[in-house]
Chains A and B, each alone.
Chain A
Amino acid sequence: MWHVTLKRVRLLIVLTILFVMLISSASLNAQGGGGYIGELEGPTLVLDPAQWPTEFSEAPMLAEKVAAGDLPPVVERIPSEPLVIQPLDSIGEYGGTWRRAFVGPGDGENGNRINASDKLLFWDYTGTEIVPSAAKGWEVSEDGTTTTVFLREGMKWSDGAPFTADDFVFWFEWMYSDTRITTPIADMAVQGQQGRVEKVDDYTVSFVFPGPNLLFVDLLAGDTLIGGGQSVRQSRGTSYGAYAPAHYLKQFIPEVSGKTEEELNKEATDAGFEDWVTRLHFATDWQLNPDVPNIGPFRTVQPINTEAWVVERNPYYWAVDTAGNQLPYLDRVVFTLAENPQIITLRAIAGEYDQQERHILMTELPAIIENQETSNYTLHLDLAFNGSDAVYQFNQSYDADPEIAKWLTNADFRRALSIGIDRDQLNETFWLGAGVPGSAVPAESSPYNPGPEYRDMWSTYDPDLANQMLDDIGLTERDSDGYRVRTDNGERLRLEIQAVASFLPYVQISEMIADQWSDLGIYAEPREYERTLGMTRAANNETQIFVWTNGGTELLYLFPRHAIPVDPTEAFMGPAFAKWFVTNGADGIEPTDPNLLRIYELFTAATGLDEAGRIQNAQEIWKILVDQQYGIGTVGQSPAFMGVRIVNNDFANIPDRTCIAQHCRTPGGSHPETFYFTNPDRRD
């Protein structure tokens, strides 16, 4: 049985336009790219059963185990309808270790993303089309209330136990619904009402909602709490992700294990855990617990809280290449601990990593380029689709200083500051000319992009106009140093830009902007905060202007928090409004700005809209955002975040350019299970 929805047809139209735009945007950047920016490419899925292989083979290391009788033969390990992947360039060879860097136990995402195919649905390598992954297909009911997911018959967990609808029901009933373990999430709700999971048969599962939930398929494919997959959503104390290994986890949960809570607590404290809940959270965590069965291409053999996190091939992985070779080609991935980014750069330019795109800073590019030949690697620059890597978000709910708040909420003030920024200067200095200057809207290739004119609106350098606008809104008086003064007490108007040191040098970027704003007579002081402190201050509504990426906003509905204040954990544009929004008005501050209210309205309505309706709403939201300049975009569509990719020359099936976006799970979208070594020496 093969199921595809009509939605794909609609998507096709969008895609055609997209494709043309992608090429044009790539060529736009190629001038500054020095040949490091290639064409977007990646492996494809073979969805037509007629083209599937009928003979299957396996890695030598597994063949040995089969011969020794420790493992069933490969045909019995893979499902009757496996995921068939056409590798990017060639059918690979088995063996070898992928050497990578990680920065500590918090960097689990490093491996989660390599295991990203454990999601039910995924995006293709362009990041624009939803494709099957662990599930072979999906279907949405006429009324939009039920989304049915079809599983692969004969698919197994990494320990050989069957992967069935029971694992979904177990997750829903014994984990998700138990408030001792976790709290309900918005992803599983429509208009505040929780949905439920139902088993249709062993290989069919339905998600049933009290109202139409047309966004749910996107949520399943996105990097969301429901769709993220087991690797990311059941690690580090969380229990989301739609399914769980029932046969293994049962023993840790009261009643279903046949034990009482007291008995399990006793077991847990004996094992060194706080109580049964913390023990369960440890048990579900693939990064920490090598015993937990998973369905990703790799499973942990040495946990992440050590010097080296080692993951090895999953003998029951359910994907094959077009020649019938069970994937992955690589035996294992070894992540070596590095305590700081300089060590990573140094090791990278010494050729000690086979592919590394995380934790590499753009400003180190020249050093990376000049060591390419001696250290046998190639640099690729991947361009992101989000509009700006540094958005200056003006806190609309700021209330600590009424005079400052008055200006932060003044649209012309924000517009003037925006056109007072010389984005070409920023691009040249911090993006080495490889970014696209402009507003915060997503790439022109995105269906949500409101139109090319919105890239430049209020976003091109015009200091004279900016000065004029600031005069016009009443900031005419200046102090002896030429800075404009407050209208309430005549002292200098001091703005604070809050910056957190991260993958971009936000403090230095802000220093340059502060220097440019000083030409407008605006005094702004960049202030660096330690990451936790910065985020806490933002959450407490203490910041005036916060600079952060708007990564993820290219899929506005799946990841809105960097564009509009809807999630209090990162609502830099209005933390108090976000609180108001998520608590349905019980807490926080209600916005009065009609434009903001309109944004909320458009956003909330989208769940019940079809694709075309959602696109229309998203475009309108972006139009308002750009016109109002709540967040000043600077430079984006760049390689700054995970886009500086260093690849060993012996590594194959590596795309020239890959999609770097939150939902593409970089490098997951290019199916790392198809990477292999062309050099036989590297395959032992």
Chain B
Amino acid sequence: MSIDESTAAKVAKLARIKVEEDALPALAQEFNAVLGFIEQLNEVDVEGVEPMVSVTPMRLKRREDVVNDGDQQEKVLSNAPDAREGFFTVPKVVD
């Protein structure tokens, strides 16, 4: 399986990382190196083997479904690059 430039561009788009046109060939090459390494997994017989979900088999703890946190608007916004009037601010999303 070989990754071409258009696939690399598509992956960058999915990952929401801007990659300039002229950087795509090198990126595709790096993907191919990593994927070539991963291909070794095809040698393993995994017939009937369950994919691991949790490395430590344990039942998740249950708790009462009650509000135990909150009312910290100022703290939540304190690290925002742009916060106004108690809200996060982003570029226009809907026309």
Q: Do A and B come from one complex?
A: no
Contacts from B to A (Cβ < 8 Å): none
